[in-house]
A and B are shown apart, each in its own frame.
Chain A
Amino acid sequence: MSGLKKVPASAGSSPGAAPTTVAERDAVDETGNPIVRMLRKLAAGELGSVRVLIVLALIWIIFSVSNENFLTSGNLTNLTLQIAAVGTISVGVVLVLLLGEIDLSVGAVSGLAAAVVAVLSVKHGWNGYAAMGAGLLVGCAIGLFQGTVSTRLAIPTFVVTLAGLLSWQGAQLAVLGDTGTVNIEDEAILNLAGVFLAPWLGWVVAAVVVGALVFAELGHRRKRGAAGLVQAPVVSSVLRLAGAAAALFGGVLVVNSDRGVPLSFVILVAIVANFHILLTRTKFGRHVFAVGGNAEAARRAGIPVARVRTIVFMLASTLAAFGGILAASRLFAVNQSSGGSDLLLLAIAGPVIAGTSLFGGRGSVWGALLGALVIGSISNGMDLLAFTSSVKFMVTGAVLLGAVALDAATTKNRTTIRT
């Protein structure tokens, strides 16, 4: 990065004396054409989220050309409904991947938690909210168990969660009992995936979010300005906010012409946004990145590495449980294959397509949302084109491999920049 950035700094805007202090260098570094700089960053593999947006745009273009129904408001609303569960699970997967670990049990945990919720609600007559709380607690406890076992006994998480994958699947069958399938009737549970925001409420939510983003950005700039620190160029702030506003208002406009904004999608976006803040703005989040980047360095810096790992596994399992509940709410039922099949693999593939490193320390929870959108779009589009599952799996696999290959190529590019 430094090697790249120095070029425009000396050649471009400041031909005068070489900068001598860090602050001056910072200032020089941030001048120059922001668009050129962005393109360069993109080529250097630094803007993973932008690249996945390009992949997503390509997929949408291909499907909208091949099927006129793909880009309709009804189908896009369906798409948001389809990805809510897997996207939620993926958020937890991103957290685990940031540590450089893996959690193979998220699919099974989602199935078990959904089974617990369904059985408590239907067979034991529990209140819907209480049943969902119990389901989340089951997920949380599983995460605590798996995290503690792997940190205390120093067993690789791959093994611990593989054992979990088998065990929790068994537990799910046991909980469901002889009937196998449990149909959910509780309003509270079904509302999660069944409720849509009224058109006006959709607009209000979007406006509030955009307002909050603008307010936060202004505050951020004012604080940095007051402290005399380097500001990102105004253009990039404006572009980012305008992009977010366009996506939000555009999205609301599209889905409002159908059924409105699905509650489950609002929940997914809220989860992603909150975990983004947790990861990037709090001490805990910083520690997650540190442990994923260099666990020994983190330990020496006084970070409680085992505790950070355990908490992350608890969060991942809890999110998996919630994803399972969202899926159950959408299907009106929990059966023996809930949480099974390709759910785990898609939940991991999504963030990886969006550029989350499997080796830890690099990635963003937005990758969970964007990755789920990519995979969901492929699945949705191929369904519209009446392709069979065989083709669907192969195409998804190819996209995954392609995205990771692109990542590997650009990462290699990036490491050679280091002087």
Chain B
Amino acid sequence: MQGGGHLVSPSAAVTPSGASAPGAGAAPLLKLRGITKTFGAVRALDNVDLDIFPGEVVALVGDNGAGKSTLIKTVSGAGPATSGTITFDGKDVHVRSPSDSKALGIAAVYQDLALCDNLDVVENLYLGREERGQNQPFSRLDEVAMEQHAIELLGELQVKTLASVRTEVGMLSGGQRQSVAIARSLLGNPRIVILDEPTAALGVAQTAQVLALVARLKERGLGVILISHNLSDVFEVADRIVVLRLGRNGGEYPATSDQRQAVVAAITGVGVDSPQAVEAAKGAGTSSAAAAQGGLTKKDPS
């Protein structure tokens, strides 16, 4: 089923280069072309293209091992691409390390959050970029400025459930922790934010909280790349859905609910009219992830 995604392309309402994106017509902020990544003989990514426009949430979906994380790492600098071009803001760039990516204005929020439980919200937000009175080795931290900015930032993002910005992060709920992690990524004034499974392991209310936060990132004009296994989250918040399958582009879909069947088909590699995809789309209203899993168990008849 190598060409599974491409098989469905003609029948589904595929929108090349993001016709549904708000920035349609404008140049993409981030443009990946022909990204290939090999680990020895293994081709983890094969000629993948991706466009991200400002003020747009692009969901990157695919089965485990489809290459989502590998693709993200080529952008975040954690694992540079073997070949292919990255164009940022119209200029060809090379992303070889996380600091390259940070300098461009690309921030990544990883699944395991990378917060220090023993530090409070302000301390975590400013970890590694502490504000100080003077820039000398032993000068005091400017706690007042950091706390003020933290309150401002969380206020802008309407993160309302924190009792205090001086609460230890270890005491926070999963949704609050995710909010803090996302807020932290914004302190470097990025233009693109990559969210890796931000709603994994969150409850219903907390998921809603994080998705609302994603919507506000979009309102701020940021390009958001959202990796998720949960299709109902994806359809709720994304503008465009990019499917990866076996390391290749598996199709691109507008995030309208009538595309659910096509997306599931593209992810699992079954035909768009196959019983699995139809069933998955039916059940998708509540728990599409479980439905997609159901489709997966019967995949690859070829």
Does any Cβ of A come within 8 Å of B278's Cβ?
A: no
Q: Known contacts being A25-B164, A294-B117, is A229 close to B148, with CB within 8 Å?
A: yes
- Asked whether, in the complex, the Cβ of A303 is within 8 Å of the Cβ of B128, the reply is yes
Does any Cβ of B come within 8 Å of A163's Cβ?
A: no
Q: Known contacts being A21-B155, A290-B116, A296-B114, is A283 close to B141, with CB within 8 Å?
A: yes
- Who on chain B is nearest to A6 by CB? B163
- Asked whether, in the complex, the Cβ of B114 is within 8 Å of the Cβ of A297, the reply is yes
- Asked whether, in the complex, the Cβ of A22 is within 8 Å of the Cβ of B127, the reply is no
Separation in Å of the B187 CB from the closest CB of chain A?
11
- Who on chain A is nearest to B142 by CB? A223
- Asked whether, in the complex, the Cβ of B173 is within 8 Å of the Cβ of A361, the reply is no
Does any Cβ of B come within 8 Å of A289's Cβ?
A: yes
Give the CA-CA distance A283 to B167 in the complex, in Å.
Answer: 19
Residues in B neighbouring A300, C-beta threshold 8 A: 110, 114
Separation in Å of the A362 CB from the closest CB of chain B?
6
Does any Cβ of B come within 8 Å of A391's Cβ?
A: no
Residues in A neighbouring B155, C-beta threshold 8 A: 21-23
Does any Cβ of B come within 8 Å of A286's Cβ?
A: yes
Binary flags per residue of A239-260, CB closer than 8 Å to B gives 1, else 0: 0000000000000000000000
Binds A, one of B64-72, B132-140, B221-229: B132-140
Residues in B neighbouring A298, C-beta threshold 8 A: 116, 127-128
- Asked whether, in the complex, the Cβ of A297 is within 8 Å of the Cβ of B160, the reply is no
- Asked whether, in the complex, the Cβ of B160 is within 8 Å of the Cβ of A2, the reply is no
Give the CA-CA distance A220 to B51 in the complex, in Å.
Answer: 49
- Who on chain A is nearest to B166 by CB? A26
Does any Cβ of A come within 8 Å of B115's Cβ?
A: yes
Does any Cβ of A come within 8 Å of B162's Cβ?
A: yes
- Asked whether, in the complex, the Cβ of A22 is within 8 Å of the Cβ of B119, the reply is no
Q: From residue 267 to 299 of chain A, which have CB atoms closer than 8 A to chain B?
A: 278, 281-284, 286, 289-290, 292-294, 296-298
Does any Cβ of A come within 8 Å of B239's Cβ?
A: no
- Who on chain B is nearest to A360 by CB? B118
Does any Cβ of A come within 8 Å of B197's Cβ?
A: no
Residues in B neighbouring A412, C-beta threshold 8 A: none
- Asked whether, in the complex, the Cβ of B144 is within 8 Å of the Cβ of A224, the reply is yes
- Asked whether, in the complex, the Cβ of B140 is within 8 Å of the Cβ of A282, the reply is yes
What range describes how many residues of A lie at the interface?
35 or more
Give the CA-CA distance A168 to B170 in the complex, in Å.
Answer: 40
Does any Cβ of A come within 8 Å of B168's Cβ?
A: yes
Does any Cβ of A come within 8 Å of B202's Cβ?
A: no
Identify which of A230, A283, A301, A361 contacts B114 (C-beta below 8 A). Answer: A301
- Asked whether, in the complex, the Cβ of A301 is within 8 Å of the Cβ of B127, the reply is yes
**Among B110, B155, B171: residue with most chain A CB under 10 A:** B171
- Asked whether, in the complex, the Cβ of B114 is within 8 Å of the Cβ of A26, the reply is no
- Who on chain A is nearest to B110 by CB? A300
Q: Known contacts being A23-B155, A419-B173, is A294 close to B115, with CB within 8 Å?
A: yes
Binary flags per residue of B155-179, CB closer than 8 Å to A gives 1, else 0: 1000110111111101111000000
Does any Cβ of B come within 8 Å of A152's Cβ?
A: no
Q: Per DSSP, are chain B's interface residues mostly helix, strand or loop, or mixed?
A: loop
- Asked whether, in the complex, the Cβ of B118 is within 8 Å of the Cβ of A289, the reply is yes
- Asked whether, in the complex, the Cβ of A26 is within 8 Å of the Cβ of B164, the reply is yes
- Asked whether, in the complex, the Cβ of A297 is within 8 Å of the Cβ of B118, the reply is no
Binary flags per residue of B104-129, CB closer than 8 Å to A gives 1, else 0: 00000010111111110001000111
Residues in B neighbouring A282, C-beta threshold 8 A: 138-141
What range describes how many residues of B lie at the interface?
35 or more
Identify which of B123, B141, B154, B164 contacts A2 (C-beta below 8 A). Answer: B164
**Among B119, B127, B145, B173: residue with most chain A CB under 10 A:** B127
- Who on chain B is nearest to A27 by CB? B164
- Asked whether, in the complex, the Cβ of A290 is within 8 Å of the Cβ of B132, the reply is no
Does any Cβ of A come within 8 Å of B300's Cβ?
A: no
Residues in B neighbouring A9, C-beta threshold 8 A: 163
- Asked whether, in the complex, the Cβ of B114 is within 8 Å of the Cβ of A292, the reply is no
Does any Cβ of A come within 8 Å of B289's Cβ?
A: no
Residues in A neighbouring B148, C-beta threshold 8 A: 227-229
Identify which of A6, A281, A303, A415 contacts B141 (C-beta below 8 A). Answer: A281
**Among A278, A289, A301, A361: residue with most chain B CB under 10 A:** A301
Give the CA-CA distance A290 to B116 in the complex, in Å.
Answer: 6
- Who on chain B is nearest to A2 by CB? B163
- Asked whether, in the complex, the Cβ of A22 is within 8 Å of the Cβ of B141, the reply is no
Separation in Å of the B119 CB from the closest CB of chain A?
6
Residues in B neighbouring A22, C-beta threshold 8 A: 151, 154-155, 159-160, 162, 164-165
Give the CA-CA distance A228 to B145 in the complex, in Å.
Answer: 11
Does any Cβ of B come within 8 Å of A5's Cβ?
A: yes
Identify which of B127, B137, B139 contacts A297 (C-beta below 8 A). Answer: B127
- Who on chain A is nearest to B154 by CB? A22
Give the CA-CA distance A22 to B112 in the complex, in Å.
Answer: 25
- Asked whether, in the complex, the Cβ of A361 is within 8 Å of the Cβ of B118, the reply is yes
Does any Cβ of B come within 8 Å of A390's Cβ?
A: no
Separation in Å of the A36 CB from the closest CB of chain B?
17
Does any Cβ of A come within 8 Å of B219's Cβ?
A: no
Residues in A neighbouring B273, C-beta threshold 8 A: none
Residues in A neighbouring B118, C-beta threshold 8 A: 289, 292-294, 360-362
Give the CA-CA distance A289 to B124 in the complex, in Å.
Answer: 11
Q: Known contacts being A1-B167, A21-B155, A22-B155, is A278 close to B138, with CB within 8 Å?
A: yes
Give the CA-CA distance A181 to B160 in the complex, in Å.
Answer: 67
Q: Which residue numbers of B lie inside 8 Å of A, CB to CB?
A: 99, 110, 112-119, 123, 127-130, 132, 137-141, 144-145, 147-148, 151, 154-155, 159-160, 162-168, 170-173
Could you show 29 A-B contacts with beta carbons less than 8 Å apart? A1-B163, A1-B168, A2-B167, A2-B171, A2-B172, A9-B163, A21-B155, A21-B160, A25-B162, A26-B151, A26-B165, A26-B166, A29-B163, A227-B145, A227-B148, A282-B139, A283-B130, A283-B141, A286-B130, A289-B118, A290-B116, A293-B117, A294-B114, A294-B118, A297-B113, A300-B110, A301-B129, A418-B171, A418-B173
Q: Apart from A2-B171, A419-B173, what 9 extra A-B contacts exist at CB < 8 Å? A: A21-B151, A22-B165, A26-B163, A282-B140, A292-B118, A296-B114, A298-B127, A302-B129, A361-B116
